[in-house]
Chain A
Amino acid sequence: RKEVEQDPGPFNVPEGATVAFNCTYSNSASQSFFWYRQDCRKEPKLLMSVYSSGNEDGRFTAQLNRASQYISLLIRDSKLSDSATYLCVLEGTDSWGKLQFGAGTQVVVTP
């Protein structure tokens, strides 16, 4: 089993619609969770951290379910500029802050 698993998509979303997807992880000791965004042929950029209580940043809402070992990302009122690959990222428990990346979920927002 992969340590971080994501549905690769693509999720084709009409502009203005809502899209949500999950990421499952296998290491129950993982402490920190993030969603990154990666545009084609670019480096990943931090979208938001994921807190146990759930958190929201504008149109983006992230949730963490430790019992079932998954995190989720919901995008409301999708914009064309939201088209990207969304990477689920976990920080390991070592002292160096190593990150483990999922392969990403592709979202395509259409006019």
Chain B
Amino acid sequence: GAVVSQHPSRVICKSGTSVKIECRSLDFQATTMFWYRQFPKKSLMLMATSNEGSKATYEQGVEKDKFLINHASLTLSTLTVTSAHPEDSSFYICSARDFTPRRVSTDTQYFGPGTRLTVL
């Protein structure tokens, strides 16, 4: 089946540094990728929808200058957490949607393995 990779799988950084997380679709093209954040024992919260070649669409309450998203190609989206603080520590998960949105069922939205960010 389709595979989505994320890198790094885990990162520990000092407060104030910026962290970049990559999300790649390995065997399909993804015009749309989604970025989620999940705190312990909480639901996945959609942060933003990333569209190839255009600006990301952020959910209410998510600071676009804090969480920079770039979707430069059909197989790569990056999320940069700028000036990270301890409250940004979370599990960040991306998902990638197959090339033809809504033509097929939503089980073509494939999730990456997640990136666990710890900010000291």
B26 at the interface (CB under 8 A from A): no
Specify the chain B residue showing the minimal Cβ separation from A47: B107
Q: List 18 A-B contacts (CB under 8 A).
A: A34-B106, A34-B107, A43-B111, A43-B113, A43-B114, A44-B44, A87-B44, A95-B101, A96-B32, A96-B101, A97-B32, A98-B34, A99-B44, A99-B46, A99-B95, A99-B109, A101-B36, A101-B45
User: Once the chains bind, are B106 and A99 in contact (CB under 8 Å)?
Assistant: yes
Most chain B CB within a 10 A radius of its CB, from A41, A46, A97, A103:
A97
User: Once the chains bind, are A97 and B43 in contact (CB under 8 Å)?
Assistant: no
A49 at the interface (CB under 8 A from B): yes
Known: A97-B97, A102-B43. A91 touches B113 (CB 8 A): no
User: Once the chains bind, are A49 and B91 in contact (CB under 8 Å)?
Assistant: no
User: In the complex, how many residues of chain A place their beta carbon closer than 8 angstroms to a beta carbon of chain B?
Assistant: 23
User: Once the chains bind, are A44 and B43 in contact (CB under 8 Å)?
Assistant: no
Q: 1/0 per residue B77-120: CB within 8 Å of A? A: 00000000000000101010100011001110101111010000
Specify the chain A residue showing the minimal Cβ separation from B42: A103
B49 at the interface (CB under 8 A from A): yes
Looking at the complex, which one of B36, B42, B105 makes contact with A49 (CB distance below 8 Å)?
Answer: B105
Known: A49-B107, A95-B102. A8 touches B41 (CB 8 A): yes
Known: A96-B32, A96-B49. A104 touches B43 (CB 8 A): yes
B93: which A residues are within 8 A, CB to CB?
A: 43-44
A45 at the interface (CB under 8 A from B): yes
Q: Which of B51-91 contact A (CB under 8 A)?
A: 57, 91
